[in-house]
Amino acid sequence: MSELSWGRRYLMCPPLHFGVLYEINPWMHREVAVDRDRSAAQWEGLVANLRAAGAEIELLEPKQHVPDLVFTANAGLVDGDVFVPSHFRHPERQPETAVFSEWFAEQGWRVDDLPEEIGHEGAGDALPFEGTLLSGYRPRSDVAAGPIISEMLGVPVRTIELIDDRLYHVDLTFCPLDDRRALCAPMGWDEYGRKVVDALVPEPLWLEDDEALSFCANSVVVGTNIVMPVTPARVGRQLEAWGFSVVESPVDEFLKAGGGCRCLTLALDVTLG
């Protein structure tokens, strides 16, 4: 058993302009107001918990009119010094692409673009597991992105269909823990996707439906520390039995927009292939 080779350096964006200004997933309701102070405190709490777990945090300057910029997981894909910016499905998030691309270019990353017509929502829809990128498709990303990303980054991609609108990104259904284990939410996948994950992950922790819908898979793993938005009791016990330290970092203000801890972070130290 060895720890993940990535997950010690993250990009985050303070929630200065965060709010539910539109509805692009079943969790978003414009009539539900975001508590600014609470969301800021939760975000700060997450930063503190990640730093305490041993992670470095880099900050992206928030921008007006792009409230979901806080969900940096959807910035794009990171592979060494290459950054592939996301192509968002919804027009509301499409202005984020230029903001993220600019930041990465300024920081010295090589920015490689996906073909214009191909949709893919970055690390939110593609997580590395033991040399393979597990990518979700249908709600936000196109199935055709899989082979293109594979060729661009030289990494095998397994593309699985996400079938539940509430679990609209793969990072709501899948969380790599180490080189053998991952949190897996089969309710989010069709039968073929379940078989693909079953073949990929030697020791999956299968989540019950209510556990999956708590967003506990949307957690951030820093070595043997796991920062979770919520920790269902059974899941927490299993993780601790496996030797992980679980820290709960509530982000329920962000759940109003359909995001958890993972959505608020983008790992910058990922090397694929």
Name the site residues for another protein (rule: CB under 8 A): 132, 137-138, 142-144, 146-147, 150-151, 154-161, 190, 192-193, 195-196
CB of 166 to another protein, least distance (A): 19
Report the residue number, 61 or 198, with the smaller CB distance to another protein.
198
Token pair 């993780």: residue:
239
Report the residue number, 124 or 193, with the smaller CB distance to another protein.
193
Q: What are phi and psi of 164, to 5 degrees?
A: -115, 120
Task: Write down the catalytic residue from 169, 184, 216, 261.
Answer: 169
CB of 204 to another protein, least distance (A): 17
Report the residue number, 75 or 196, with the smaller CB distance to another protein.
196
Report the residue number, 54 or 154, with the smaller CB distance to another protein.
154
CB of 243 to another protein, least distance (A): 30
Report the residue number, 104 or 137, with the smaller CB distance to another protein.
137
Residue 169 is among the residues annotated as catalytic for this protein: yes
CB of 132 to another protein, least distance (A): 8
Are the C-beta atoms of residues 198 and 204 closer than 8 Å to each other? yes
Token pair 């059974």: residue:
234
Residue 184 is among the residues annotated as catalytic for this protein: no
CB of 214 to another protein, least distance (A): 27
> Where in the sequence numbering do the catalytic residues fall?
169, 263
